[in-house]
Chain A
């Protein structure tokens, strides 16, 4: 701020001097370069004024840390097409603690928000005849997959596509209306929020991305990923002062990527764990190996938590929950947080124990299993559940609100219904 005011003052002083000198003809010759200089300074100083919207507002409501994190999985994709600006903004509106997204890369090396390595299921690529010949078959984690791969398109080409809602039973009205966004745009959405909103980006399919996309200077996908975070000021260990200003978790299914980036940043990392039948994409280790006490003991030096698929924590048989495994207990014993994925409101995703009620599922996972964060497609529902059952205490306002509440509780008690 000090530097800004100094620069602010200089042009004004110069213009006063300029005006005095402009009276004689000799002065006019000096006036032109001076005015030119002024213009230059005037234009250059503009970026030094932060946009009012981006001012660091000291009264920005901080991240809540007293109850499990509400992680907006691909934004509020229950309502909007996943990983679009609209989905993220809606999630922030609905009270998300973190907005989550998958980072991949375009042909020209720009980091983008996109979950699938192919564009088929979530974009209108099929309608773009100009790209018809880009379809190809690649080996994705051992399976031959045919489709339009993100790394075969430049950012400009990707931006010409429209994102659509993946699930046919969800709202289709926004199909084709929103574009794919970049990692930078995703970060901006978080930083622009009127309260502190964390980011939870994933280093997605790094083996594949590094295979098909090259960056200058021998840099890898993971390097560019961390560079982007650094550029926007994301740093600091979990719960440190810097971290709480701009909270972030880095997640990945690939342990080597997480270990690699741990030398580049002290931001907290989360190790994602796939279904029991799927080995890790980079080290080909089985589920059993990476969830063993031995492995958790090793990986805890690099990550502060794990993100397992919820049906591996509590198995399911005939759509009924079985007794829980000890995964959460063992993770907690090693001081590792547990953030399972994914919570969805639709009854086909809800096991019968929950009577088609997503709030019953939240209740089970938060109060019976005791997880530390939840990846949900329905940010609003989780937020509502949490606000109704463990409301957040907040600031000065609630002193009067608190007294009001107490008053009504006492009067209701005094005047019971007849």
Chain B
């Protein structure tokens, strides 16, 4: 009789011990009070698709590198696989940034779909299960950037992206986009009638993302939700109070869901309306300051008017490659940062080159905080005074 009780008590002990394990947080996931907080005193360094100047876009490496290079936020585009898993991927098709062409077994999956009024042919993410997508490898999109990582990394899912941010040694925000929601909802179905936007917010909530802009909870886990589709943003404003950003395409492209023109959604009356749902806008930078013959023209009043409605402005995209730089900047990305931050006065910048923007900001508007810098500060001051004294001799 005793042996039965012994066995059952041993079994019970085993059960308890095994179950108890998850209650100890992993050391790396401990809520470390000394985690350096998000900086909020200068424009946000938003790592556009990770550090995609150096690594293939939207891969774990690109994001880890961006965090290493001191991004304030890591940015991503959320799409869905055939089986409804939310993935980090920019294009609707796999052609430009993966080795799909080398996978003969997927040849037959090539299709043509209508996307925002145009017929597009290619291998669409929505025709592949997650397992199939994971068998592909991501390539560097731009041929003039480093090709050495081609074929080495796989597509990651939304949850992996979030884990990378939460696993960082300091507070790093996330900036995910509800990408092509009209198209996704057309072709991917979720149980219980849930939509793409629902699944998107569910994932954020699962990982504890909540709170209005600059609230205490938000500062622990900062996040912006971005989209080109105003109806999606309005829809999710009932599901989460996280800050939202309305992305604005160039002047020739209407919104994908409401078919409104650029001029309509950048009008004062529209700003007056949308400001109840979003904290800012994310326009294409050439629509803020148009360019002619690769020279900047007079800036429009878009930033001024946005700021008048208390809307932040986070333009896209800043790139170091000289063909992306207008001649005013003498092929110098730092001159471009200087112009947009000091002259135009934007509140955040989507950049492919996190490290360069960080250097620019540290050199011109350095961040000093925490106990360490007391002695560092005194060192710095002593050095400055001695240099000044020596220049007199």
B253 beta carbon closer than 8 Å to chain A: no
A416 beta carbon closer than 8 Å to chain B: yes
Q: Is the CB of B327 within 8 A of A388?
A: no
Chain B residues with CB below 8 A from A345, complex form: 322, 330-332
Q: Is the CB of B388 within 8 A of A402?
A: yes
B250 beta carbon closer than 8 Å to chain A: no
Within 8 A of A (CB), among B19-49: 37, 39-41
Q: Is the CB of A398 within 8 A of B144?
A: no
Chain A residues with CB below 8 A from B294, complex form: 171
Chain B residues with CB below 8 A from A352, complex form: 54, 146, 148
Q: Is the CB of A398 within 8 A of B388?
A: yes
Within 8 A of B (CB), among A328-359: 345-348, 352, 355-359
Instruction: Provide the A174-214 mask, 1 if CB < 8 A to any CB of B, else 0.
Output: 00000000000000000000000000000000000000000
Q: Is the CB of B144 within 8 A of A357?
A: no
> What residue in chain A is nearest B362 (Cβ atoms)?
A388
- Decide yes or no: A378 and B323 within 8 Å by CB, A409-B381, A413-B368 being known contacts: no
Complex Cα distance, B335 from A380, in Å, reads 9
Complex Cα distance, B385 from A272, in Å, reads 39
A277 beta carbon closer than 8 Å to chain B: no
Listed by A's residue number, 14 A-B pairs whose Cβ atoms lie within 8 Å are A355-B353, A356-B333, A356-B356, A357-B356, A358-B331, A380-B332, A380-B335, A381-B330, A393-B391, A405-B384, A409-B377, A413-B374, A417-B37, A418-B37
Distance in angstroms from B243 CB to nearest chain A CB is 18
Q: Is the CB of A357 within 8 A of B320?
A: yes
Q: Is the CB of B332 within 8 A of A356?
A: no
A-B pairs, top 3 by smallest CB distance, nearest first, are A388-B363, A393-B391, A356-B320
> What residue in chain B is nearest A345 (Cβ atoms)?
B331
Q: Is the CB of B334 within 8 A of A359?
A: yes
Distance in angstroms from A365 CB to nearest chain B CB is 16
Instruction: Find A393's partner among B332, B356, B359, B388 (CB 8 Å cutoff).
Output: B388
> What residue in chain A is nearest B384 (Cβ atoms)?
A402
A79 beta carbon closer than 8 Å to chain B: yes
Chain B residues with CB below 8 A from A358, complex form: 331-332
- Decide yes or no: A388 and B370 within 8 Å by CB, A357-B333, A359-B359 being known contacts: no
B369 beta carbon closer than 8 Å to chain A: yes
Instruction: Find A381's partner among B293, B334, B370 (CB 8 Å cutoff).
Output: B334
Q: Which A residues form the contact surface with B (CB < 8 A)?
A: 76, 78-79, 169-171, 173, 318-319, 345-348, 352, 355-360, 378, 380-381, 384, 388-389, 393-395, 398-399, 402, 405-406, 409-410, 412-413, 416-418
Complex Cα distance, B149 from A318, in Å, reads 13
Complex Cα distance, B370 from A142, in Å, reads 64
B102 beta carbon closer than 8 Å to chain A: no
Q: Is the CB of A346 within 8 A of B380?
A: no
Q: Is the CB of A169 within 8 A of B54?
A: no
Distance in angstroms from A66 CB to nearest chain B CB is 9
Chain B residues with CB below 8 A from A378, complex form: 330-332
Chain A residues with CB below 8 A from B217, complex form: none
Candidate in B41, B54, B381, B388 with the most chain A CB atoms within 10 angstroms: B388
Q: Is the CB of A417 within 8 A of B41?
A: yes
- Decide yes or no: A399 and B359 within 8 Å by CB, A345-B322, A406-B381, A409-B377 being known contacts: no
Q: Is the CB of B323 within 8 A of A355?
A: no
B307 beta carbon closer than 8 Å to chain A: no
Q: Is the CB of A79 within 8 A of B330?
A: yes
Chain A residues with CB below 8 A from B330, complex form: 76, 78-79, 345, 378, 380-381
Q: Is the CB of B144 within 8 A of A413?
A: no
Q: Is the CB of B388 within 8 A of A399?
A: yes
Complex Cα distance, B328 from A78, in Å, reads 11
> What residue in chain A is nearest B320 (Cβ atoms)?
A356
Chain B residues with CB below 8 A from A416, complex form: 369-370
B145 beta carbon closer than 8 Å to chain A: yes
Instruction: Find A78's partner among B146, B331, B364, B381 (CB 8 Å cutoff).
Output: B331
- Decide yes or no: A389 and B353 within 8 Å by CB, A356-B145, A417-B40 being known contacts: no
Q: Is the CB of B332 within 8 A of A171?
A: no
Q: Is the CB of B53 within 8 A of A356?
A: yes
Chain A residues with CB below 8 A from B132, complex form: none
Q: Is the CB of A417 within 8 A of B369?
A: yes
Chain B residues with CB below 8 A from A395, complex form: 391
Chain B residues with CB below 8 A from A409, complex form: 368, 377, 380-381
Q: Is the CB of A355 within 8 A of B334?
A: no
Distance in angstroms from A125 CB to nearest chain B CB is 25
B321 beta carbon closer than 8 Å to chain A: yes
Q: A360-B355, A417-B37, A418-B37 are in contact. List 18 more A-B contacts (CB 8 A).
A: A169-B323, A346-B322, A346-B331, A352-B54, A355-B51, A356-B321, A356-B353, A356-B356, A357-B353, A357-B356, A358-B331, A358-B332, A380-B335, A381-B335, A394-B391, A402-B385, A406-B381, A412-B368
